[in-house]
Amino acid sequence: DAGVIQSPRHEVTEMGQEVTLRCKPISGHNSLFWYRQTMMRGLELLIYFNNNVPIDDSGMPEDRFSAKMPNASFSTLKIQPSEPRDSAVYFCASRTGGSPLHFGNGTRLTVT
């Protein structure tokens, strides 16, 4: 079991640039979650998908954020345009049914 795979591990970009974060969930898991973690706000749920369909995106901070899940094995989180306050660690997690979440190792985003 390879676990949840996220890429890139680190991303440094300039304000105004587009950022795309990628996630491959555990095979067979039908729910995928995107979280953001900062010192100030802790772990915040941004959006989650069930069977590739977005169910709740109420945590997405602004229209600059968008997420897609074109198939069961891939999801992207895009920020366009990026701002310094978007700097955080972004985690992807997956699960099936009521099982606990399995997290990836995150993407550390720095926007200068």
Among 21, 33, 75, 88, contact with another protein (rule: CB under 8 A): 33
Q: Between residues 65 and 103, which has the closer beta carbon with respect to another protein?
A: 103
Among 29, 104, 109, 111, contact with another protein (rule: CB under 8 A): 104
Q: For residue 26, state whether it binds another protein (rule: CB under 8 A).
A: no
| 108 Cβ contact list (under 8 Å, min separation 6) | 9, 10, 11, 89
For 35, other C-beta atoms within 10 Å of its C-beta total 22
Q: For residue 77, state whether it binds another protein (rule: CB under 8 A).
A: no
Q: For residue 55, state whether it binds another protein (rule: CB under 8 A).
A: yes
For residue 59, the 8-state DSSP code is T
Say whether the peptide bond before residue 8 is cis (omega within 30 degrees of 0). Answer: yes
